[in-house]
Amino acid sequence: MNILITGCNGQLGNEMQRLELLHPEHTYFNTDVQELDITDRDAIRRFVDEHAIDGIVNCAAYTAVDKAEENIELATALNSDAPGYLAEAADSRNGWMIQISTDYVFDGTNHRPYEETDEVCPNSVYGSTKLKGEFNTMNNCRQAMIIRTAWLYSTFGNNFVKTMIRLGKEKPELGVIFDQVGTPTYARDLAQVIFTAIEKGVKPGIYHFSNEGVISWFDFTKAIHRIAGIKTCKVRPLHTSEYPTPAKRPHYSVLDKTKVKETYGIEIPYWEDSLRECIEQL
């Protein structure tokens, strides 16, 4: 197959490129904004036709959650409109599309893991624009797969794990939120699931994926420091109210992964095992 990967310079896009080496039977077109502006509908259609694209994995997004509250136009263009354009182009060639979405489509008030069928209720610009991107993808491509994920990190780019390691080495004390819980996701594990879906066949619908287990940001930081061997930084718990942000964060972001596990016959690694693997890579 000829596969278009967007957002190739991001965390997930970089992990996809590493795994492409294990799947040399396909031809990959790794793009970022320099190679393809995904907010340009005509440019997408030309690219997809010229390269006879069979499938699209959209790893690109506007992910600056707080800045999105002000940059609504850009967040909408990248998170809502672009997925629809990509989906149209894929469908025009009877192709498939995998769109990456987020736990932010929920308001975070659940007390049990979110299932794909639970009511969506975003309470931020980021969440709202990503939800519209889901709708646009599903409405414009008959073979569309949505994968919602949460708390993404990797060895690439800027993310929570790398920030906590850096701050842990620089500062004697850190305050970290303890009343928001969820599950971290190692981007490489997510990339592997995407490749599993490609190899076994994209089955349309919405799926949830993160690593296994549940943890708070505070406990996650403690684990990061323990695994990274950082012993000089004291980590203290903060209430969300003590650390106000422009965008409201979900207090509960645990995703139920039963559907993706049963559909594709996969086992999902425990969050600490994947975290250890990432830190060893770093």
Catalytically active residues, by annotation: 126
Give the pair of three-digit tokens for residue 42.
């005509």
Amino acid at 43: A
List alpha helices for 141-282, DSSP H. Answer: 160-170, 187-200, 217-228, 258-264, 271-281
Q: CA 104, CA 122: separation in Å to the nearest integer?
A: 6
CA-based nearest residue to 167, from 235, 219, 223, 241: 235
Neighbours of 107 (CB within 10 A): 17
Buried b (16+ CB within 10 A) or exposed e, 148-172: bbbbbbbbbbebbbbebbebbeeee
DSSP conformational letter for 120: P
How many Cα atoms sit within 13 Å of 54 on the Cβ side?
9
Encoding tokens for residue 6?
């967007």
Give yes or no for a contact between 253 and 181, defined as CB atoms under 8 angstroms apart.
yes
